Structure 1
Amino acid sequence: MRNLLEFLSKSGHWLLFVFLEVISLVLLFQYNSYQGSVWITSANAVTGRIYEWESAVEAFFSLTRINEGLTMRNFYLERQVDQLSRLYTEATDDTTAAERYGLKLLEQYELIPAKVVSNSLHREDNLITINRGRADGVRTDMGVACGLGVVGVVYMVSEHYSIVMPVLNVNSRVSCTIRKRGYFGYLRWSGGDPTVAYVEDIPRHAHFKRGDWVETNGYSSIFPQGVPAGKIIQVYNSSDGLSYRLKVRLATDFGNLRDVYVLSDKSIAERAGLMEAARDSLREKGR
């Protein structure tokens, strides 16, 4: 106790100085909008870097399991592509059509690879942080996917990081269709189990069965056609009885999400310009 009192008597002025500095900084950032915005931006950058380091450590210790899963997935996809190409060739006698179609579909999109540095599963408003931002070409409303399927949509962007609203967010809506059936609805998550979501507004006259795949329909510029969303495991009536509600086992394993890619649609600027020109034309006619 005597030593403590001696220390306080000798260093008391320094402790008082530090205390007053902390108080002044709190008042500065709390009651001044400009300084507050600077602090928030700096804090976000620091937090993003910390999340990135933490994610890198976790990823290192799970590399073996991830590589095993990727190997199995690649083997399955290669066999599927070979089989489909062979069947198409037998049906059309065109040996290059499948390759041409695949290249044509992908050339519209630029893929920006990214890593997940922060993720949550058990909130209603789950968000994902990735280590790519405005400097890497990422913009809001771009689609995000992984090797297994749909992840979500870019919600907010800073210079080097982005926030993604995943399928596991009650505010998320992804336009989907039932593979080979043509009927479409909206994929949404209701909270709770992070492995299942629901497709709403499937018409009553639709024909499908459990086990059918649900995938993106390509009607928007966010996702191309055919990105897997999940597999139908249960069928319900909607609350008003006018449509079906499909319970879907999600294709993406959000609890083990590390590597993703952002989908940049190269044609979006052209389509936006065309739409704006059409609106201007309608305004001129209305005058």
Structure 2
Amino acid sequence: MHNLTEFLAKYKHWFLFVALEVLSMVLLFRFNDYQGSVWFTSANYVAGSVYEASSKVTSYLTMGEVNEELTKRNLELERQVKELSAQLYDKTKDSTFLHKGQYRFFSKFRLIQAKVVANSLDKPDNFITINKGTWDGVRKDMGVACGNGVVGIVYMAGIHYAVVIPVLNSKSNISCSIQGRDYFGYLHWNGGASDVAYLDDVPRHAKFKLGDRVVTSGYSSVFPAGVLVGKIKHVYNSEDGLSYRLQIKLSTDFGNLRDVCVIDDASIREQRQVIKAAQDSIKPLESPMVNRGQ
């Protein structure tokens, strides 16, 4: 208490000075219109700047949730378009509104949302790691897409994480078709730019034009028909000259990939199980034939 008294006595002139300054400022801004308006404007500007900065920080922190919701919404809208096309087909039986059998695939989706936690672009065999695994329903050989199109195929699934083979991998081999044309081929990536891949084995009699959309064909046991892949950018002849090789501008931006969805389609699961059962049943039949051949 004695020290506090000495401190106040020592600096009493300063305290008096500060008190008089505060009092004079209050009198100045309260009883003078011009000075009061200047103070009001300045105070509002400072407060507005603080609120704006706070709003930007809040928006940045919630950006991940917004992107995740947009990804989910984009895929949901695409599914709704396919369902409406299917209903239109049932009413009119006009096949120009949708590809053969395509509408059946999009009515059975369960989409598992996930975030990309690791990604690479500069290797011949790139991989993507997502933060969902078997605990969330992710299984090997499930298709993975984002709001812009195809991403890849689940290669390995752990309990809480999964590894995806993206289009940007030399082992990737996705069956695709030219939308509205019904001609199909197989999508490959040979390294280089991350926004370009090639559709091989397109028949020489196929009719198409630059800018046509390329989508999944639905002929594999991974992706349903109609998931966007990209657009035709250039046309080449195959090495043997018997087919076309199409350069595809990919719709998915792999360099800015954050939110994806794993496609859990009941019909595709059933198709995969039937194929596996057929393969297992053929193996015992092959062995005796191989022995006789030897």
Give ranges in structure 1 of 5+ residues lacking alignment.
1-58
Structure 1 residue 148 displacement after superposition: 1.6
User: Hey, what does 1:158 align to over in structure 2?
Assistant: 158
Whole-angstrom distance in 1 between the partners of 2:226 and 2:215: 5
| Contact 1:144-1:262 within 8 A present in 2 as well | yes
Q: Is the CA contact 1:121–1:255 (under 8 Å) kept in the aligned structure 2?
A: yes
Segment of structure 1 superposing worse, 277-286 or 104-113:
277-286
Alignment of 1:13-52 (within 5 A): none
Structure with greater Cα Rg: 2
SS across alignment from 1:201? strand
The one-letter code matched in structure 1 to 2:247 is: K
Q: Does 1:213 align with 2:213?
A: yes
The residue number in structure 2 matching 1:233 is: 233
Aligned match for 1:272, one of 276, 279, 282: 276
**Is the counterpart of residue 186 in structure 1 residue 189 in structure 2?**
no
Q: Quote the offset at 1:214 in angstroms.
A: 0.9
Deviation of the 1:273 alpha carbon? 3.0
Cα 1:280/1:229, change in 2 over 3 Å:
same
Partner AA of 2:145 in structure 1: A
Q: How far 1:69 sits from its partner (Å)?
A: 7.2
Quote the Cα distance in structure 2 between the aligned partners of 1:106 and 1:76. Answer: 11
Partner Cα distance (1:220, 1:81) in 2 = 19
CA contact (8 A) 1:233 1:249 kept: yes
Distance 1:281 1:155 in 2: 29
**Partner of residue 122, structure 1:** 122
CA separation of 1:136 and 1:69: change in aligned 2, threshold 3 A: closer
The 3 A distance-change label for structure 1 pair 72 and 112 is closer
**Counterpart of 1:163 in 2: which secondary structure?**
strand
Does the Cα contact within 8 Å between 1:110 and 1:266 map onto a contact in 2?
no
Q: Which amino acid aligns with 1:189?
A: W
Query: Which residue number in structure 1 is paired with residue 170 of structure 2?
Result: 170
Greater Cα offset, 73-82 or 174-183: 73-82
The alpha carbon displacement at 1:155 in A equals: 1.5
1:148 corresponds in structure 2 to 148
The CA deviation at 1:186 is 0.8
The answer to whether the 8 A contact 1:152-1:164 is kept is yes
Q: Structure 2: how far apart are the matches of 1:158 and 1:82?
A: 33
**1:266 Cα deviation from its structure 2 partner:** 3.2
* Cα RMSD (Å): 3.9
**Residues 152 and 192 (structure 1), Cα distance of their counterparts in 2 relative to 1, 3 Å cut:** same
Number of equivalent positions: 226
Contact map agreement 1:109 1:266 (CA 8 A) in 2: no
User: How big is the shift at 1:256?
Assistant: 1.9
Q: Equivalent residue of 1:266, what SS?
A: helix
Q: What are structure 2's unaligned runs of at least 5 residues?
A: 1-59
Distance 2:178 2:139 in 1: 29
Is residue 183–residue 202 contact of structure 2 (8 Å, CA) maintained in 1?
A: yes
Task: Indicate if the aligned counterparts of 2:75 and 2:147 stay in contact, CA closer than 8 A.
Answer: no
Query: CA distance change for structure 1 residues 162 and 122 in 2, over 3 Å: closer, same or farther?
Result: same
Scaled by the length of structure 1, what TM-score is found?
0.64
Separation in 2, partners of 1:272, 1:75: 30
TM-aligned CA deviation for residue 278 of structure 1: 6.0
Q: Which amino acid aligns with 2:277?
A: G
Paired with 1:285 and 1:153, the residues of 2 have a C-alpha distance of 34
Structure 1 stretch 203-212 or stretch 266-275: which is displaced more?
266-275
The correspondence of residues 54-73 of structure 1 with structure 2, limited to 5 A, is: 60=61, 63=64, 66=67
Change (3 A) 1:282 1:79: closer
1:131 CA drift (Å)? 0.6
Question: Which amino acid in 2 is paired with 1:269?
Answer: Q
Identity of aligned residues (%): 47
CA distance in 2, matches of 1:225, 1:75: 15
Q: State TM-score, norm by structure 2.
A: 0.62
Residues 60 and 103 of structure 1, relative CA distance in 2, 3 Å threshold: farther
2:105 partner SS: helix
